[in-house]
Amino acid sequence: MDKGKVYLVGAGPGDPKLITVRGLECIGRSDAIVYDRLASPRLLKHAKPGAERIYVGKLPDRHTMNQEEINRLLVDLALQGKTVTRLKGGDPTIFGRVGEEAELLQEHGVEFEIVPGISSAIAVPAYAGIPVTHRDLASSLSIITGHESPEKLDLSIHWDKVTNATGTLVFLMGVAKIGYISEQLIKHGKPPETPVALVRWGTRVEQRTLTGTLADIERKVKEADFKPPAVIVVGDVVRQREKLMWYEKKPLFGTRVLVTRARAQASELAGRIDDLGGEPVEFPVIETREPAGDEAQRRIGLALESAEDYEWLMFTSINGVDYFFRWLARLGVDIRRFHKARICAVGPATAEALASRGLRVDVLPAAYRAEGMLDAVKDAVRPGSRALLPRGDLARAALPAELRRYGVEPVEIDVYETVMADSDDSDVLELLEKGAVHVVTFTSSSTVVNLLERLRKLGVKQPAALLEGADIACIGPVTAQTAREAGLNVTVMPADATIDGLIAAIAARRAGG
């Protein structure tokens, strides 16, 4: 059996978007991912299907695996012929013990590659508004371990040289030793009023920053019950935080948002959340697909044969547009055959999906739901006309029923069906149980129904109760009604049933507006 290869990858400080392009490539091509708690779990979503995921993380009071066991694990996996990514927080060469892992791989003739990452020593202070160097304040930088016992720190650190030979000091993993570190720095010449900042879980939704001086920082840490992991910055650059703090000013800073919509559409909402400083957790509970069976295709084909007879094309979702055009292509139907039809879209996103295909919407309702569509066209439709409604199998009956009242013949075709998605549940359930999800978003009634059902299948007897601590954000009144009927307390609903409206309403809610 050929030996595999091991990539020793720096995952960056926590924000999954701070990983390098090379690091992301390594994750995507690996058969096994070996990761610790400082690497974002969101990076694992880039693993290929079937890739083995092995957690070897360490906590201050507990080690899942010791370093020797991790080293051996990497060798064993490679000797099985597997391509392996060892995912490490920050940069693997800065207190990451990558040398030990690489040495054992080399001894066993296993090919390896070290992929640098953005170190928490520079990224975490930057996210707190602290540049580690500054033209007027600090022209040098020292990165120091603070994890060892005081005796080991004294052996590994020449306090007199460190204190006086550099501008900015950055201690990694030193929260528990902050008193001793401050004491030694003052003892060897640092003024007691020297600014200090501790940044906990920097670049993540949990980021918290505590500032003080060498003289009072230990007391402040105890009073705030400030826990690791944190980066400690000592030096005049800490004062820059007052001017340069940027991350913590974002509208959704500190907010973790559960995104339940279908995977194909989740990226837009997730991207907007991320841009505003929140952390999106993508947990698609629905997926769409073409309806199965010959009968479904026969019905759609029969409806499309009469393309010239329709005076209206009514689209109630982006999915309806996408799948409608898929069926046109599959059945060889030219869109120009619908030349008599006026086009109505439920909202601007659906209208944009049509525009991207070269179709201009004739009617766009003021209220972005089926009832709004009827209000928009009721003065334009005429009795005896036909309207084609390309929709999903769960579409509401309100629109076709009202069209019939006006003498219009609605031809409904289920161009797609909505089913429960199958995705990894463990991380999301853990976040919900810890109360670490601050907002749950629903963009359709089916996302409400399916999320609650997924939680039941995971053994949650009262899924609505599990979500009580989170804001429930629904895109529109129909979705909100479904959520309320399921026992959820809806706290966010935009005036406009759009993604932009939903994001704005969430931001206003989090700001207390």
How far lies 346's CA from each of 314, 341, 397, 410, 500, in Å? 8, 16, 15, 16, 15
Q: 343, 315 in Cβ contact below 8 A?
A: yes
Concatenating the DSSP letter of every residue in 351-394 gives: HHHHHTTT---SB--SSSSHHHHHHHHTTT--TT-EEEEEEETT
Q: Where are the alpha helices (DSSP H) in 406-473?
A: 426-433, 445-457, 463-466
CA pair distance 414, 393, nearest whole angstrom: 5
d(CA 67, CA 95): 13
Catalytic residue among 36, 91, 274, 322: 36
Extract the tokens encoding 205. 């939704």
Place of tokens 């929140």: 278
* 58 carries an active-site annotation: yes
Identify residue 408 by its one-letter amino acid code: V
- Catalytic residue, from 15, 31, 173, 373: name it: 173
Pick from 105, 129, 112, 126: nearest CA to 12: 126
Which among 261, 256, 285, 269 is positioned nearest to 435, based on CA atoms? 256
| Active-site choice (3, 58, 220, 340) | 58
Q: Catalytic annotation on 154?
A: no
Q: Three-class SS of residue 252? A: coil
Residues in contact with 247: Cβ distance below 8 Å, sequence separation at least 6, in sequence order: 127, 128, 129, 203, 207, 253, 277
How far is Cα 264 from Cα 261, in angstroms, rounded to an integer?
Answer: 8
Q: Which of 233, 234, 250 is nearest to 123 (CA)?
A: 233
**DSSP bridge partners of 314:** 344
Is residue 173 annotated as a catalytic residue, yes or no? yes
Question: Quick one: which of 272, 18, 281 has its CA closest to 124?
Answer: 18
Distances in whole angstroms, Cα of residue 146 to Cα of each of 180, 485, 504 = 10, 53, 42
Residues involved in catalysis: 36, 58, 173
